[in-house]
Amino acid sequence: MVDDATTPWLVVGLGNPGGEYAGNRHNIGFMVVDLLAERIGGKFKAHKARAQVVEGRIGPAGPGSRRVVLAKPMSFMNLSGGPVTALRDFYKVPVERIVAVHDELDIDYATLRLKLGGGDNGHNGLKSMTKAMGAEYHRVRCGIGRPPGRMQVADFVLKDFSSTERKELDWFVDRSADAVECLVLEGLERAQSTYNS
């Protein structure tokens, strides 16, 4: 039985490390965990699991709050499984308390979907995580839409958000962070009914 008070949630933002990738569509997971860290007043620190982590609590002070570990793997996207598995083992987090926050091509821009388990839909970060520890973790899927015209998917996800998209980006990242908090504090069904669009 998972002890709510002491067992943390591990919230992993997927992205690529390095300044040249910071504004990429593929890095929206990093943007969301950066905002969550800001909300709990934490600063990311290097962890031996090849990740940057922040530990803290979300939710109202007292018994209603939940312990969280926010993480950004410092491997590249397609190798995310290694750092996530190492963090899972270090913090003793059951797989159903792991949340991957990631970009999703098959959902319109600024649209959110939350789910537990499922396929990787060609997403290299999810593919790596699933290979390392199975598929039964939560996903907060941040829609980025499909590439325009004949643009290759790889080129599209490694480009920064367009000026039109950036007008909504702060709102979208904020809403995605709200969805993560709702999932951790109130469960998947509540988070889906509130944030799935």
Residue pLDDT, tens place only, 26-39: 999 999 999 999 99
CA-to-CA separations, 140 to 13, 151, 154, in angstroms, rounded: 10, 25, 21
pLDDT digits (tens, 9 = 90+) for 53-97: 999 999 888 888 999 999 999 999 999 999 999 999 999 999 999
Q: Which of 26, 47, 102, 138 is catalytic?
A: 26
CA distance 143 to 9: 23
Position 60 scores a pLDDT of 86
Annotation says 138 is catalytic: no
CA distance 31 to 15: 9
Instruction: Please tell me the distance from the alpha carbon of residue 105 to that of residue 92, in angstroms, as a whole number.
Output: 32
Instruction: Count the neighbouring beta carbons within 10 Å of the beta carbon of residue 102.
Output: 27
Q: Whose structure tokens read 């490390």?
A: 17
Q: How confident is the model at residue 2 (pLDDT cuts 50, 70, 90)?
A: low
Indicate if the pLDDT at residue 1 is higher than 60: no
Provide the whole-model pTM. 0.96
Is 5's pLDDT higher than 80?
A: no
